[in-house]
Structure 1
Amino acid sequence: MALTWAESYLGKVRASIGDSDTIFFVGARGVVLDDQNRLLLIQRSDNRRWAIPAGAMELGESMEECAIREVWEETGLRATSLTPFAFYSAYTFTNDYGHTYQQVLMSFRIHTWEGELLRQTDESVDAGFFPLDALPGPHSFVIDETLHDLASFEATGRLVLK
């Protein structure tokens, strides 16, 4: 069972220090492309934007475990093989709730998974695989950058660091 925001590590930290200070957001993102090179996206329940499955780490987790858990919580799919391709640590963003974070996040390419795709979960109102040239909108601003970084990694074999 997924934790509520208030039960999560990030929710507890945010509640402890308030809404105005910038804090670290440490997490992971899971990029799933099917055998037709379609991208798995979820439509988030909080802001209705289409996004790559992702989220914050919990205490005791590795970034890889975080990616596996987030993809599972948001799609019902359990990643069985994944490779890190990009590490982000220089970005600061403010979310729709006015909370500002400096992101420390690893992106993983998920090669294999098991389970059946759930179109709705506690964190998503829809999900599906979409052709790269026909992604639904509105969508998260990080999708294009993440796909570019994955292509760079696949071309060079070097982890993208930003």
Structure 2
Amino acid sequence: MAYLSWAESYVGQLRALAGDRVLLFVGARAVVRDDAGRVLLIERSDNGHWAMPAGAMELGESISECAVREVWEESGLRAAAVTPFAMYTGPDRTHTNMWGHTYQVFTVAFRVDRWSGDLVTTTEETTDARFFTAAEFPAPISTSVIETLADLAAFERTGHLVVK
């Protein structure tokens, strides 16, 4: 897998064409757990927040391929099997980022069922990456982490896809 710069990415190219318009952003988020049940969090290089591996889908890939790629890009781990468990959609998911770009986000959350490799703590997109228990979560933490883990627990309890 080759790393794409922001300018080369689909969303980066679309933003250059669209200017300040609100864009629809389709992406994936991944919950990676180790054998002890700890959750992988990455410290984002753009805003310093701790979050789950996540990012925008590129042209030519499926949403599950996006989740696998984002895990690899942000942690060096190779996701071998993923299961979708939640979708986050709607106008309440509209956000303006630190660069003033506004997106209505459509995110699919995946549980990584099998993975391999050695954790890389620093990448193009991360300044740290580690596995944590919920009691150890670092700050500042992305608000999506707690919601996503609660939705994963609901999915694992009921077997029903969570749609918001």
Give the TM bin, normalised by the shorter chain: over 0.9
Aligned to 2:31: 31
TM-score, with length taken from structure 1: 0.97
| Alignment pair present for 1:161 and 2:163 | yes
- Which stretches in structure 1 are left out of the alignment for 5+ residues? none
Q: Distance in 2 between matches of 1:128 and 1:41?
A: 6
| Alignment pair present for 1:146 and 2:148 | yes
Q: Distance in 2 between matches of 1:15 and 1:145?
A: 31
Q: Distance in 2 between matches of 1:61 and 1:132?
A: 32
Q: Distance in 2 between matches of 1:81 and 1:5?
A: 27
Q: Distance in 1 between matches of 2:57 and 2:133?
A: 29
Contact 1:54 1:67 survives alignment (8 Å): yes
TM-score, with length taken from structure 2: 0.96
Letter in 2 for 1:33: R
Equivalent runs, 1:1-162 vs 2, <5 Å: 1-18=2-19, 20-90=20-90, 91-162=93-164
List 4+ stretches of structure 1 deviating above 3 A.
Answer: none
Q: Distance in 2 between matches of 1:68 and 1:51?
A: 16
Judge which range, 66-75 or 32-41, deviates more. Answer: 32-41
- Provide the aligned C-alpha RMSD in A: 0.7
